[in-house]
Amino acid sequence: MDIQHIMDYIPTTYTLRQQEETKTMVDLKLLKEILIDSSVNQCQGFCYNSKKDVFVLACINSQNSRQIIYELDPKTFDIVGTYRFRNSTELAHMNTLTYNPDTNLLYTTNAVVNGHRITTIDADTMTIGETITIPERVFNLGYDIKKKQFVSIVPVNATMRRINYYTPQFELIQSKEIDAHHNDFNNNGAFAYDGRTIFATLSTVVTIDKYGAVSKITPFPKALEIEDMDMRHNMMYAAVNAGHNVAIYSLINY
């Protein structure tokens, strides 16, 4: 994910006590390598649509001017739906994707054009819906179906992350600040369930408990870059760029 224009972000919340990084690696199992269309060259957002029982994968080109949203069979990860866009304003980079079954909408962020903007997409028709602008910056966004709230992970500096919790209408509930024990601004992915939040840096998966404190930091091979993640039937899955393919992995120990 490309993080731009965030150096002017000033944290205003307190730092929580952190837990040390674990020595155990993330147990990643390669399930499928998907050849993507030549008009795009990387994946960004990835989520699970529980209504249609498909995974949804967003791919873009380097100029953020073309996007393809793929629907994937949840067992074989074969492509079962393809939706093409040329949209450099509402979609553009498509940093993350998340699905809200209560609204049947996909939500994506676009840090390259507007770091405060969230764009909705109809999960049935894949038509672009409304854009929502919020006061806080938003890059990595996940919807917690149990708590019925959105969670956003925002880089503050190379190591600190601000976790913002929102109502379904994007009214800010609370913010907490955590130390990701990392040395880079880049954040990838967002998963939230029952108050717990998971996201990736360039080399670790960070788990935040329901109280807003880091409970686990697990490394993974630096040759991989987890772009986004979501869960189906209690198994976590992640999308990773692999040349002109997108690799789908399961995260066994999550």
Tell me the pLDDT tens digit for each residue of 96-145.
999 999 999 999 999 888 999 999 999 999 999 999 999 999 999 999 99
Entry pTM? 0.90
pLDDT of residue 6: 37
Q: Mean pLDDT across the stretch 142-170?
A: 97
Phi-psi label, residue 174: left if phi above 0, alpha if psi -120 to 50, beta otherwise = beta
Domain ranges, residue 75: 28-251
Of residues 91 and 12, more confidently modeled: 91
Place of tokens 């969230």: 118
Residue 14 in domain: no
For 153-179, b/e burial (b = at least 16 CB within 10 A) is bbbbeebbbbbbbbeeebeeeebbbbb
| Amino acid in position 228 | D
CA distances from 210 to 9, 35, 194, 197 (A): 25, 37, 7, 8
pLDDT of residue 213: 95
For 184-205, b/e burial (b = at least 16 CB within 10 A) is ebbbbbbbbbebbbbbbbbbbb
Q: What is the DSSP string of 153-186?
A: EEESSSSEEEEEEE-TT--EEEEEEEE---SSS-
Give yes or no for residue 180 having a pLDDT over 90.
yes
Mean pLDDT taken over the chain: 91
Instruction: Characterize the bridge pairing of strands 149-155 and 117-122.
Output: unpaired
Residue 128's CATH number: 2.120.10.30
Residue 7 in domain: no
Residue 12 in domain: no
Residue 17 in domain: no
Report the distance separating Cα 36 and Cα 55, nearest Å.
15
Report the distance separating Cα 85 and Cα 12, nearest Å.
38
Residue 4 in domain: no
Encode pLDDT of 227-246 as tens digits.
Answer: 999 999 999 999 999 989 99
Residue 2 in domain: no
Instruction: Count how many domains the chain has.
Output: 1
pLDDT of residue 23: 56
Considering all CA atoms of the chain, what is the largest pairwise distance in Å, rounded to the nearest integer? 46
Residue 242 in domain: yes
Give yes or no for residue 4 having a pLDDT over 70.
no
Residue 10 in domain: no
